Amino acid sequence: MEKNMVLAIVVVVIVVGAAGAYILLQPPAVTLIPPRIHTIIQETAGDAEYLDPAVDYETAGGAVIMNVYETLYGYEWVGTNTTPSVPLLATSYVVSGDGKNYTFTLRQGVTFHDGTPFNATAMKYSLDRVMKIFDTAGPAWMFAEPLLGGQAVEDAANEFGAPSTEFNAAYDNWFANSHSIIVLDTYTIRLRLAFKYAPFFSVLAFSVACAVSPTWVEANGGVEYGTHNAYVDTHTCGTGPYMMTSWVPTEQIQLTAYTNYWRATAAKAEFPNAGSITNVVIKQNTDVNSRILNLLANSTDTGYWPTTHALYIWNRVNGSNGDGTLKSLYPQLKLWCQVPTYDVMFMGFNMREYMNISNNIVKSPFVIKEVREAFSYAFDYATMIANVLNGFGQQAQGPIPIGMFGHNDSLRMYSYDLDKAVEKWNAAMSSGLLEPILANMSYNLDIYYNEGNTVRQQGCLLMGDGIQAILDDPLALQPVSPLTVTVKSVAWPSYLYMLNNRQLGFFFLGWAPDYADPDDYVVPFVKSTGLYANRIGLQLSTGWNATLVDGWITAAAQELDPTARNVLYGKIQQAVVDQAAFVWAYQAQTFHVEGVYMNGYNYNPMWYGLYFYHFYKAYPTGYTMP
């Protein structure tokens, strides 16, 4: 098959427990394939959901978007600085004394992939388009909330839906009267805020603020109120170094270099080999073993190598990554790992009273806090980190990642404690509320993960083991019929669809930062209209004071004093942990594998995926192919 470009090879492993450690007993013998000098082949486990920067809000699509489209400013190409400081489509900017007006001078001589000139009118069109579509499951919120008049548009989208008579009117009023996005001249644009908002400049570096060719959009369906453009969801036209030339869903995406890329000369001055990769093929392959074998054979150049299989390649050397060869067991592969990230991995409980599971309306057991607490105690965090991640992570501590401003280091967290898990389970059973819910569910509890993600698979199996351990405990109160716990996988786009439509009672996901600020974590996880808080129905859960906590979040976003801001984030974190709304599984570390001939990799917490334009292929000096 095209996905598996090597002969079948038996790899012998030891598997310890449901979430066991994998130990390579005998290195597979492979025939190395010389690298394709101008092409990168990458294998991933999941397909993009959309390729429209106005609506896509997941990493697979984001990784493509940031190679095809561009924002006003971006992040440094080398290093881990999380402040966007590289001028892209803007050459400079000025912030007014009150912090509410951002005036950008735009770059001249830039064209979109269809030949349309980039200018202030095109930039305004792109940002207006985000507001008019306003996918409430997408990234529009982060741009809209601080923008002058933007909150009213978001409120209408969340309350009445988009499109709707109310939303359409709110957008029209904003567009006509807010004057929040102003074209001052051909290459000058001003953005006006409702309040001073420190992260706003970083928000503009996220994909939601990418420039899209207005000529191309209008020629392919234009912009409708509250509605995706199906063509723009699956095609691209940006100003970036690559064009998306082919997308076969669930199989592969192909990128081709844009020959008139505006930064070509400047890029070569800083990175002499920039632009040497003219083709990128991103393949979807959910089979972890074949992904590993393909990398070992160099038939692919980089790919998703999960930490469940870290011991296949990691030689247990710690410290510096050097040139990428210091930690790899294989001379044909580089391994970059152990750098802390801001990625928070979590499990969410659907606390809405009813769930639609495959058109079957059932009640959710997670409306009962004691059930959520029982499962929080039943998850073996230490085994997850030691055996599944092979040590490449640490237990997360609430929604704000460890190491980021606003994190509460003293926050109480759950640990694996079967006695407490049984105690909480019995409290739920004794209340008389749980039994009828389990009966309504036909005594079946399904735990889903996205296909091909072995880390989440093992995490879900661990949770399943923990729940079963509660039921097997001699002190546990038993339901009338035995409860069956099943771990299931679905393809990534289907997983996202089920999640967005609140069909998952219990789900395992990760959150990578859109901008390096605690606001980017407490809004999606805690605010009533936030992405995950809304999906799980946090604002509807018993004992939750949505008005109070939402007020803290708004106040923290607008607070200028760091000390006062920190106090507010402490209250927010404590509230959501006390509610047992999520299982904070772990905070990830980097683990990136590529061919030894690959050059140009740099990790930055704010990048989705790889920036291919600076990559080039060359074997290290003195290297001899095995």
At 368-377, the pLDDT tens digits run 999 999 999 9
Residue 619 has φ and ψ, to the nearest 5°, of -70, 145
Give 182-238 pLDDT, tens digit per residue.
999 999 999 999 999 989 999 999 999 999 999 999 999 999 999 999 999 999 999
Mapped onto helix, strand or coil, the DSSP state of residue 184 is: strand
Which of the four pLDDT bands, split at 50, 70 and 90, describes residue 11? very low
So what's the pLDDT on residue 7?
30
With a CB cutoff of 8 Å and minimum separation 6, the contacts of 248 are none
Is the sign of the CA dihedral 451, 453, 456, 459 positive or negative?
positive
What's the Cα-to-Cα distance from 338 to each of 318, 409, 474, 587, rounded to whole Å? 8, 21, 41, 12
Question: For residues 11 and 1, what is the distance between their CA atoms, to the nearest angstrom?
Answer: 19
pLDDT of residue 311 exceeding 90: yes
So what's the pLDDT on residue 2?
31
Alpha helices in 249-380 (DSSP H): 264-270, 288-296, 369-378
pLDDT of residue 545 exceeding 90: yes
With a CB cutoff of 8 Å and minimum separation 6, the contacts of 22 are 13, 14, 15, 308, 309, 311, 312
Tokens encoding 269: 């001055």
pLDDT of residue 383 exceeding 80: yes
With a CB cutoff of 8 Å and minimum separation 6, the contacts of 135 are 54, 55, 57, 162, 228
The residues pairing with 486 across neighbouring beta strands, listed in sequence order, are 446
In the block, residue with structure tokens 């994909």? 207
DSSP assigned state of 388: I
So what's the pLDDT on residue 506?
86
Give 255-301 pLDDT, tens digit per residue.
999 999 999 999 999 999 999 999 999 999 999 999 999 999 999 99
Find the distance separating the first CA and the last CA of the chain, reported in whole Å. 25
Biggest CA–CA distance in the chain, Å, is: 75
Alpha helices in 417-518 (DSSP H): 418-430, 434-440, 454-472, 492-500
Q: Three-state secondary structure along 210-265?
A: CCCCHHHHHHCCCCECCECCHHHHHCCCCCCCEEEEEEECCCEEEEEECCCCCCHH
pLDDT of residue 129 exceeding 90: yes
Mapped onto helix, strand or coil, the DSSP state of residue 324 is: coil
Give 441-453 pLDDT, tens digit per residue.
999 999 999 999 9
Question: For residues 390 and 318, what is the distance between their CA atoms, to the nearest angstrom?
Answer: 13
The residues pairing with 448 across neighbouring beta strands, listed in sequence order, are 488, 507
Share of the chain above pLDDT 70, in %: 94
Give 177-194 pLDDT, tens digit per residue.
999 999 999 999 999 999
Residue 60 has φ and ψ, to the nearest 5°, of -65, -45
So what's the pLDDT on residue 599?
96
Tell me: cis bond preceding 35? Omega within 30 of 0 counts. no
Share of the chain above pLDDT 90, in %: 87
In the block, residue with structure tokens 């000390």? 563
Question: For residues 551 and 549, what is the distance between their CA atoms, to the nearest angstrom?
Answer: 5
Alpha helices in 318-453 (DSSP H): 369-378, 381-383, 418-430, 434-440
CB-count exposure of residue 10 (10 Å: 0-12, 13-18, 19+): exposed
pLDDT of residue 23 exceeding 70: no
Domains of the chain listed by start with CATH number: 59-248 (3.40.190.10)
DSSP assigned state of 111: B
> Is 364 in contact with 505 (CB distance < 8 Å)?
yes
Question: For residues 334 and 308, what is the distance between their CA atoms, to the nearest angstrom?
Answer: 18
Question: For residues 565 and 561, what is the distance between their CA atoms, to the nearest angstrom?
Answer: 6
pLDDT of residue 500 exceeding 90: no
Which of the four pLDDT bands, split at 50, 70 and 90, describes residue 361? confident
So what's the pLDDT on residue 135?
97
Question: For residues 271 and 312, what is the distance between their CA atoms, to the nearest angstrom?
Answer: 33
Residue 212 Cα to chain centre, angstroms: 22
Mapped onto helix, strand or coil, the DSSP state of residue 423 is: helix
Mapped onto helix, strand or coil, the DSSP state of residue 102 is: strand
Question: For residues 207 and 52, what is the distance between their CA atoms, to the nearest angstrom?
Answer: 9
> Is 90 in contact with 107 (CB distance < 8 Å)?
yes
Give 80-125 pLDDT, tens digit per residue.
999 999 999 999 999 999 999 999 999 999 999 999 999 999 999 9
So what's the pLDDT on residue 607?
86
Give 152-166 pLDDT, tens digit per residue.
999 999 999 999 999
CB-count exposure of residue 185 (10 Å: 0-12, 13-18, 19+): exposed
